[in-house]
Amino acid sequence: MAKDMRVSYLLDFYGDLLTDKQRDSLDYYYNEDLSLGEIGENLGISRQGVRDNIKRAEAVLFEMEEKLGLAARFSQINERLDSIKHNIDIIDSRNMRTYRSNDINESIKVILKDLDRLKKLIT
Amino acid sequence: MAKDMRVSYLLDFYGDLLTDKQRDSLDYYYNEDLSLGEIGENLGISRQGVRDNIKRAEAVLFEMEEKLGLAARFSQINERLDSIKHNIDIIDSRNMRTYRSNDINESIKVILKDLDRLKKLIT
């Protein structure tokens, strides 16, 4: 059974839509790197039961991403936020070096706080 | 049957998770303001069938929002983006009035484009 590392990422977004056993199976398999046998022991189900849980859960995650595209959208949002951060840093250093405007400095501070909050909202 | 106007908003986020008849029923009812009888005629199902579709679809939307919280998160993202836009406008007018820095002006332009793209990504 090949590991698809996108699964770990999608689990963060859509994990709440899975059953407890499905979510735990994926978490042990992808994030903790346990074997099917070890996961089965932890969850009190058979090796084959673990395999079934993982397959079904992966299918749910990929279907949700196909329909809602949350992971793709958040990754694009993340890129744009990084770009804004980069340009705010440029404005900041230009201001500090040359103009030393308090108004601009205050606005930059607020924007940096907003960017921090945005980063938290998309993770 | 009371209309809950959050439904129209949630439909934008989770509509792809509904069946065609569920989505169409909600769209006619909430966005086009058709009566149950009119919707039934359009979809070739009974008034009661329409009512059932609407009830079930609303339950799906609220359950998805409870689990994923996409609408709430996007609304918070939107507030932060408005705050960044407001502070960029302050920096822009301060720069234009007093320093006329091309570097700062260029960075502001890029940030405004990024903000536009972000607004599109969350609607």
End-to-end CA distance of chain B: 28
Minimal CA separation from A102 to chain B, in Å: 10
Question: CA-to-CA distance for A114 and B80, rounded, in angstroms?
Answer: 6
Minimal CA separation from A37 to chain B, in Å: 30
Any idea what DSSP says for residue B32? S
Tell me the three state secondary structure of residue B72. Answer: helix
Inter-chain touch A14–B68, beta carbons under 8 Å: yes
Q: By CA distance, what is B81's nearest residue in A? A: A114
Q: How confident is the model at residue B4 (pLDDT cuts 50, 70, 90)?
A: confident
Q: How confident is the model at residue B101 (pLDDT cuts 50, 70, 90)?
A: very high
Q: What letter represents residue B106's amino acid?
A: E
| Non-local CB neighbours of B12 within 8 Å, separated by 6+ positions | B123
> Tell me, what's the pLDDT at A56?
97
Checking if the pLDDT of B102 tops 90, the result is: yes
Model ipTM over 0.90: no
Q: State mean pLDDT over A24-36.
A: 96
CATH of A6-68, one of 3.10.590.10, 1.10.10.10, 3.30.465.10, 3.20.20.140: 1.10.10.10
Q: Domain coordinates of chain B in residue numbers?
A: 6-68, 72-121
Cβ-based interface (< 8 Å): residues of B facing A:
13-14, 16-17, 67-68, 70, 73, 76-77, 80-81, 83-84, 87-88, 90-91, 94-95, 98-99, 101, 103-104, 107-108, 110-111, 114-115, 117-118, 121-122
Contacts of residue A73 in chain B, CB cutoff 8 Å? 121-122
Question: CA-to-CA distance for A50 and A1, rounded, in angstroms?
Answer: 12
Given the structure tokens 């502070």, which residue do they identify?
Answer: B87
Size of interface A-B (CB pairs under 8 A): 100
Checking if the pLDDT of A42 tops 90, the result is: yes
**Taken in order B63, B66, B67, B72, is the CA torsion positive or negative?**
positive
What's chain B's average pLDDT? 95
Tokens representing A65 are: 């991403």
Q: Containing H/E element for A74?
A: helix A70-94
This prediction has a pTM of: 0.83
> Tell me, what's the pLDDT at A58?
97
Instruction: Name the H helices within B15-101.
Output: 20-26, 36-43, 47-68, 70-94
Question: Per residue in A76-103, pLDDT tens?
Answer: 999 999 999 999 999 999 999 999 999 9
> Tell me, what's the pLDDT at B99?
94
C-alpha distances in Å from residue A21, one per residue of A17, A25, B76, B106: 12, 6, 32, 52
Q: In Å, how far from its chain's centre is CA B18?
A: 16
Closest CA to B50 of B65, B30, B74: B30
Tell me the three state secondary structure of residue B13. Answer: helix
Q: State mean pLDDT over B57-81.
A: 95
Contacts of residue A68 in chain B, CB cutoff 8 Å? 13-14, 16-17, 68, 70
Q: What percent of chain B has pLDDT over 70?
A: 99
| Non-local CB neighbours of A40 within 8 Å, separated by 6+ positions | A46, A47, A49, A50
**Taken in order B58, B61, B67, B69, is the CA torsion positive or negative?**
negative
Q: What percent of chain B has pLDDT over 90?
A: 93
Closest CB from B67, B73, B110 relative to A17 = B67
Checking if the pLDDT of A2 tops 80, the result is: no
Q: What percent of chain A has pLDDT over 70?
A: 99
Q: State mean pLDDT over B9-34.
A: 95
For the ranges A1-5, A56-60, B98-102, the lowest mean pLDDT is seen at: A1-5
